[in-house]
Structure 1
Amino acid sequence: MPRRAAAAAAVLAVLLPLSACGDGGDGGGSTDASGKIEGEITFQTWNLKANFKSYFEDVVDGFEKKYPGTKVNWVDQPGEGYADKISADAAAGTLPDVVNVSPDLVAPLAKAGLALDLDKAAGKYEKEYLPGAWKSHQIPGTEGTYAFPWYLNTGPLFYNKRIFKDAGLDADKPPTTYDQLFDDALTLSKESKGRTATLANVPTIEDFGRYGVPLMDKEGTRFTFNGAKGVELLTKYKKLYDAKALDRQALTATPESTGKKFLTEAVAMNPGSALDLGKFKKDAPGLYKNIGITPQITNTGKDNMYVMGVMVNTRTKQTPAAVAFAHYVTDAQHQMSFAKKVAIFPSTQGSLDDPYFTKQDGTDDTRVRVAAAKSIKTAVNYTPVLFSEQMKIELRNGVARALQGKESPKEALDNAVKNCDRLLKQS
């Protein structure tokens, strides 16, 4: 997921000049999806053919049988360089009719007029999807929804019950809000005399979102995470850092390093997946028997989710067929089928009520799947679609300066917002 959430700087650089020319994305195509579903279209996925070739071939066959007179050409692109491929095809006018995108990739395409507004062309389908998922492909400052939501992902939080018990905390009542988290973290650090941290990660933009910080104005013209709520969050993290409740290596942590910290019981909490449970069982049986699973920490009552989508090119010559296929591949039946082949979650209404996502069977995979599915019904994508990788670096650098005492939390966030706004204007 992190790679799939990468910034689409190359796409922005190539495509925004197109929108400035006033093309509007209607070069020969039509935004009317109400006509007869027929003709030949191309469907592009993102690094899925190696593992799911037969699944997508079945989907294409099913669509062509349902709609005689249609033909779907399925192409798959490698994960590396996907943004560059999209920008090159868009600039050359060879972008496929139906394209697998993430929110950050669809944003520049929508601004360039190349992504079909589904609120206008296919709004009747909105009720089939989870509200948070449908909204995930909306762009601040632009009206419309620019991709069908497809598969979702999220993860619960693991915690070490033994560490909680040793600190005199109730291991069956892990923190659910940030205030509870900070209180427990300080207690854990105090009782362990600074030897055990609770967290191994500094706050990211998703943490600011889960804390309830307004991240960006509605027009999409400036970032706002340096407001009072944002400063409050960073100030509390500074307190954790000073009390050794935040791991000393958090400033340079990676997902791999934080996972190792949790595996060796050096930190009390860490996000993870069913794959981690299997690793704990094999490599750290003492940790495994004390594993607790809880939803993500949030003040908003909504977890963070990652989302993929399926976009329709406004320049397609077969708009009815392209819209119909984009809906077909993302409908409840096909999303449920796909979810049973890979550890993802459907974005369609009612799908998460299936026993597959609600009933325990004693296996590790199911423990995590059920825990994550419970939270994803109301989850949202906190990362602004316009928040690039460069902007993430600016925020991380600002957080580091604040934790190290080089700048106050207010100064650090003010400078981070200033730099992010500059990058936003450059794009």
Structure 2
Amino acid sequence: MRISRRAVATAAVLATVLPLSACGGGSGTGSSDASGKVEGKITFQTWNLQANFKDYFNGVIADFEKKYPGTDVKWVDRPGEGYADKISADAAGGTLPDVVNVSPDLVAPLAKAGIALDLDKAASKYREEYLPGAWQSHQIPGTEGTFAFPWYLNTGPMFYNKRLLKDAGLDPQDPPSTYDEVFSDGLKLAGKSKGKVATLANVPTIEDFGRYGGQLMDKEGTGFAFNDAKGVELLTHFKELYDAKALDPQALTATPESSGHKFLTESVAMNPGSALDLANFKKQAPGLYKNIGITDQVSSTGKANMYVMGIMVNAQTKQKPAAVAFAHYMTDATRQMEFAKKVAIFPSTAGSLDDPYFTKEDGTDETRVRVAAAKSLKTAVNYTPVLFSDQMKTELRNQIARALQGKQSPKEALDNAVKACNRLLQQS
């Protein structure tokens, strides 16, 4: 099931296999008018959700059909493996369902090919029902419009080890929250521990460049720009951390699992995570658990990163009023709150995060993390550019590794990464 923070962040990209550029752009060749009677048969496709949530979705569909007599919703669920390829094949063959579960990077090539309906034209009346950052997450640089209703969100707070901060002479009640504080405190922590304790276990990702305040793409959406002065500054500081062992020496090849293990064994002071991690700490490392602090993601912009899923309407559907109505119904505040209480995700609807479910702790690990994450989501944005593919992530990571190893300067590394990513962008 594509619910986890990591899974949402690493969704596959369609662009390399979707030969549809001749279809045009924007909201498709059909009319964007979604007015008219809500009736007819539509097909709704999800992404590996049926196994665990069959009753929930069947219930929502039944309620929708009751609200709109004359509608008939057929639900199909596809496995996570090969989901992007399946959407691509259906889009190319003209068999894409009327309503489709997508992530921003999956909707991008569909929007450019004219297959994703522009909701700014077809459903603008619903825009204010959603968090601004969530609505904007399905906008494509260089293309006007919004191409999916925001559905569920995810994010994670930052865990930190109070004991390690205290041992380094830092205030365990006031952990670093900006990158400048992380860089300063990280060097102190590494110096005090003589290089035995690092602050972080991962190299910077594209989200870090966004949270640092750098420009990720040019205004036209035609090229990447994370090699600007802010980007070079960020990577230069990470090089300083790496040289001082304030960045874990194995960060170049780290995975979320290995980084979590470093934090578990108390050789790293800070690490992002989830409620599942907290429960794991309590079971496997009770000493660490007693010293766990929970804070917001590190950010110099004041805004955390969000991961978001959406529901897109096929611009070519023959039942546009019904398809738009169902996509909105599935993502409205009532349905999103119901879904959020069944799985550890968060609603994208305005005001929902003020519900006591997301604001009041009851002493359990689950609510500690839920409340912390929900608070940050109110102003969070999706920093990952929708056009930034997995191949591009690999290019950036490889160039960063060379810079940290001293094989090239931070400026050279980011220039090379931008050049490689722009080349991939042009090929898509």
**TM-score tier (shorter):** over 0.9
RMSD, aligned α-carbons? 1.2
Match of 1:2 among 1, 6, 10: 6
Alignment pair present for 1:98 and 2:102: no
CA drift of 1:6 comes to: 3.7
Alignment pair present for 1:312 and 2:322: no
What code does the residue aligned with 1:18 have?
L
The answer for unaligned runs of 5 or more in structure 1 is: none
Mapped to 2, the partners of 1:6 and 1:198 lie a distance apart of 25
Q: What corresponds to 1:237 in structure 2?
A: 238
Q: What corresponds to 2:79 in structure 1?
A: 78
Alpha carbons 1:154, 1:376 under 8 Å: kept: yes
Q: What corresponds to 2:112 in structure 1?
A: 111
- With normalisation by structure 1, the TM-score equals 0.97
Q: What corresponds to 2:202 in structure 1?
A: 201
Mapped to 2, the partners of 1:68 and 1:204 lie a distance apart of 48
CA drift of 1:205 comes to: 0.3
Cα deviations across residues 168-207 of structure 1 (Å, max 9, x unaligned)? 1100000111001111100100110111011000000000
Cα deviations across residues 136-163 of structure 1 (Å, max 9, x unaligned)? 0000000000000000000000000000
- Match of 1:392, SS state, is helix
Change beyond 3 A, Cα 1:210–1:22: closer
What code does the residue aligned with 2:187 have?
L
Range moving further from structure 2, 18-27 or 52-61: 18-27
Alpha carbons 2:38, 2:321 under 8 Å: kept: yes
User: For 1:259-298, what aligned pairs fall within 5 Å after superposition?
Assistant: 259-298=260-299
Q: What corresponds to 1:19 in structure 2?
A: 21
- Match of 1:2, SS state, is helix
Change beyond 3 A, Cα 1:198–1:25: closer
Q: What corresponds to 2:301 in structure 1?
A: 300
CA drift of 1:21 comes to: 4.6
Change beyond 3 A, Cα 1:26–1:377: closer
Alpha carbons 2:24, 2:112 under 8 Å: kept: no
CA drift of 1:8 comes to: 4.4
Q: What corresponds to 1:356 in structure 2?
A: 357
What code does the residue aligned with 2:97 have?
P
Mapped to 2, the partners of 1:232 and 1:18 lie a distance apart of 39
User: For 1:22-421, what aligned pairs fall within 5 Å after superposition?
Assistant: 22=24, 26=28, 29-421=30-422
CA drift of 1:19 comes to: 2.7
Mapped to 1, the partners of 2:27 and 2:215 lie a distance apart of 32
Aligned positions, number: 424
Alpha carbons 1:156, 1:294 under 8 Å: kept: yes
Mapped to 1, the partners of 2:16 and 2:415 lie a distance apart of 26
CA drift of 1:18 comes to: 2.1
CA drift of 1:4 comes to: 3.8
What code does the residue aligned with 2:418 have?
V
Mapped to 1, the partners of 2:6 and 2:253 lie a distance apart of 17
What code does the residue aligned with 1:283 have?
Q
What code does the residue aligned with 1:225 have?
F
Mapped to 1, the partners of 2:105 and 2:231 lie a distance apart of 23
Change beyond 3 A, Cα 1:23–1:120: closer
Mapped to 2, the partners of 1:402 and 1:246 lie a distance apart of 14
- Match of 1:99, SS state, is strand
Alpha carbons 2:28, 2:113 under 8 Å: kept: no
CA drift of 1:2 comes to: 3.4
Mapped to 2, the partners of 1:84 and 1:234 lie a distance apart of 35
Mapped to 1, the partners of 2:63 and 2:253 lie a distance apart of 48
Mapped to 2, the partners of 1:6 and 1:24 lie a distance apart of 25
- Match of 2:60, SS state, is helix
- With normalisation by structure 2, the TM-score equals 0.97
What code does the residue aligned with 1:144 have?
G
Alpha carbons 1:312, 1:326 under 8 Å: kept: yes
CA drift of 1:12 comes to: 1.5
CA drift of 1:23 comes to: 8.3
CA drift of 1:24 comes to: 7.2
Mapped to 1, the partners of 2:364 and 2:421 lie a distance apart of 44
- Match of 1:45, SS state, is strand
- Percent of residue pairs identical: 79
Cα deviations across residues 63-118 of structure 1 (Å, max 9, x unaligned)? 00000000000110001100000000001110000000000000000001000000
Alpha carbons 1:303, 1:378 under 8 Å: kept: yes
- Match of 2:226, SS state, is coil
Alpha carbons 2:151, 2:348 under 8 Å: kept: yes
Mapped to 2, the partners of 1:286 and 1:46 lie a distance apart of 39
CA drift of 1:401 comes to: 0.5
Cα deviations across residues 262-289 of structure 1 (Å, max 9, x unaligned)? 0010100000111111111111000000
